[in-house]
Structure 1
Amino acid sequence: MAESLDMIFWQRITQGDYQAFNAIYDRYWNILLAIALKKVGDKELAMDIVQDLFIDIWQKRHSIQVQTSLRSYLTSALYFKVFMHFRRQGVQQKHIDQYHLLLETQECGEHFTSARYEESYETLLHAIQQSVHDMPQRMKEVFQLKYYRSLNNQEIAENLGLSTQTVKNQLSKGLQQIRRHMEAERMDTSMLSLIGIFLLFH
C-alpha cells in the first residue's frame, strides 16, 4: 500500500506537484538521514547530503526513471551521494588503501568525472535493483539489509542468525551477481567496483 501511494506521489512529482514532493520529503527524510549519519558519522554533514539528494530529485524529476519502489530508488541514490562525498574527500583513511589499489589495478580513475557519473548513474541503479530482485533469498536478505537499511555486518549477522563471515560472503557474491548482470547487458562496471568497496568496507 505504501509503495502504491509512493508511486502516485512520484507521478505527481514528475508533473511538478510540489505538495507531493513535500509528502515524500516528510516520509523519507528521517530514514535517509539515519542511513547517511551511519555512513559519514556527522549529523550536519549527513543533513547536507540528504538535502542535496532531495534538491537533485526535484531538479531531475523529469528524467528519473523509478524502476521498482521509490524507497529503493531513494536509498540507492543516497548511497551514491555518500560515495561521491567520500571520493571527493579522498575516501576515509581506513579505506584509502583499498581505494588506491583499485585505481591502480583497474585504472578507472578517469571514469569518475562528474559527466561520467551522471551518464552511468541511472543505468547502475537499474542494474542493482534488477539483480537484487533476482538474487537467491538468503543473499537478497543480506544485501537488502546492507544496501537498503544500511546495517553493518554484525547487525546483519544477528538479524539473520548468520556468522559475520557468511554475511561478507553473501555480500561479495551479491556484487558478483550484479557484475555478471551488467556484463551480460554490456554495461560499464567500473563504478560498481568502487561502490563494492563502499558497501563491503563501510
Structure 2
Amino acid sequence: MHDMLDTICLQNIACSDYKAFSHLYDKYWDLLLSIARKKTGNIDVSMDIVQDLFVDIWQRRSSLPQIDDVRRYLISSLYFKVFMHFRHQGIQQRHVSSYITFGVDEQEEDFLQLLEGEIQHNHLINVIAESVEDMPERMRQVFSLKYHRSLSNLEIAETMGISVQTVKNQLMRSLQHIRNYIPEHLSHPTAFLFLLFLLS
C-alpha cells in the first residue's frame, strides 16, 4: 500500500518546504543507506551516494513529477546512483549484479520489493542502451563520450573536432531521443517517472 503521507510530503517539498524534506530524509535515510551498503560494500561510498540522491531531490524539487509510491521511487533512484558509481569506477554492467546481496534478516515484503525494483532497473538500463544504439552516429558518439567516458563538453568537442555548442545540441537531442524511445519500450510507470527525474 502506498503511503499517502509520503506523497503529500513530496508535494510540499516541491513547494520548497524544507521541514517536509527533512522528514523524508530522516524516514528513508537508514533504509537507503542499508541498500547502498549491501551493493557497494563501502559505508563511506554508500553515505555519499544516498546524500547525493537527496541533494538531487532538493535541487530538482520544483520539477519533480507526480509520484504515488515514494518509497519505491527512492529505491529505484538509488539503484541508478549505485549503477553510475560502478560505471565511473570502470566496472562493467554485467558485473554489477555480483555486488548485490540481500541479508537473511530482510522482511519478505521488503525483499520482494527490492527484487522487483532490481528487475525494473536492469530492464530500464537495457532499454536505454537500445535507445542509444538507435541514435544517429554523431549523436551516439557524443552521448557515449559524455555518459560512458565522462568527458566534459570541451573534451568532447576537441575529441570530435566540433564546437562546444554542437556538443550541447547533440546531448540535448540525445536525451530527448531517449525520452521519446522509453515510453514505447517500457510499460512500468514508476520506472518511467524515475527516468524523467534522472534526465530532466
TM-score norm. by structure 2 comes to 0.51
Partner of 2:44: 44
After the TM superposition, which residues 120-159 of structure 1 pair with which residues of structure 2 at under 5 Å, given as runs?
Answer: 127=186, 129-130=188-189
After the TM superposition, which residues 68-83 of structure 1 pair with which residues of structure 2 at under 5 Å, given as runs?
Answer: 68-83=68-83
SS at match of 2:53: helix
Q: Does the CA-based 8 Å contact 1:32-1:78 persist in structure 2?
A: yes
How far residue 129 of structure 1 moved from its aligned partner, in angstroms, is 3.8
Question: What 5-or-longer segments of structure 2 have no aligned partner?
Answer: 97-125, 134-139, 148-170, 196-200
Aligned counterparts of 1:58 and 1:4: Cα–Cα separation in 2: 20
Q: Does the CA-based 8 Å contact 1:68-1:129 persist in structure 2?
A: no
Please give the root-mean-square deviation of Cα atoms over the aligned residues, in Å. Answer: 3.7
How far residue 131 of structure 1 moved from its aligned partner, in angstroms, is 7.6
Q: Does the CA-based 8 Å contact 1:66-1:73 persist in structure 2?
A: no
Partner of 1:15: 15
The number of aligned residues is: 125
Q: Does the CA-based 8 Å contact 1:6-1:70 persist in structure 2?
A: yes
SS at match of 2:64: coil
Partner of 1:153: none
SS at match of 1:67: coil
Cα pair distance change 1:9/1:29, threshold 3 Å: same
Which of the two has higher C-alpha Rg? Answer: 2
SS at match of 1:39: helix
What do the CA deviations read for 1:54-87 (whole angstroms, capped 9, x no partner)? 0000000111214331111111111111111111
Aligned counterparts of 1:45 and 1:83: Cα–Cα separation in 2: 13
Cα pair distance change 1:74/1:131, threshold 3 Å: closer
- The answer to whether the aligner puts 1:6 opposite 2:3 as a matched pair is no
After the TM superposition, which residues 1-202 of structure 1 pair with which residues of structure 2 at under 5 Å, given as runs?
Answer: 3-91=3-91, 95=95, 110=141, 111=143, 113-114=146-147, 127=186, 129-130=188-189
How far residue 26 of structure 1 moved from its aligned partner, in angstroms, is 0.3
Q: Does the CA-based 8 Å contact 1:37-1:43 persist in structure 2?
A: yes
Partner of 2:165: none
How far residue 32 of structure 1 moved from its aligned partner, in angstroms, is 0.4
How far residue 95 of structure 1 moved from its aligned partner, in angstroms, is 1.9
Question: What 5-or-longer segments of structure 1 have no aligned partner?
Answer: 97-101, 133-177, 179-186, 188-202
Aligned counterparts of 1:128 and 1:79: Cα–Cα separation in 2: 19
TM-score norm. by structure 1 comes to 0.51
Runs of 4+ in 1 over 4 A off after TM superposition: 105-110, 114-121
Cα pair distance change 1:88/1:57, threshold 3 Å: same
Cα pair distance change 1:48/1:130, threshold 3 Å: same
How far residue 23 of structure 1 moved from its aligned partner, in angstroms, is 0.1
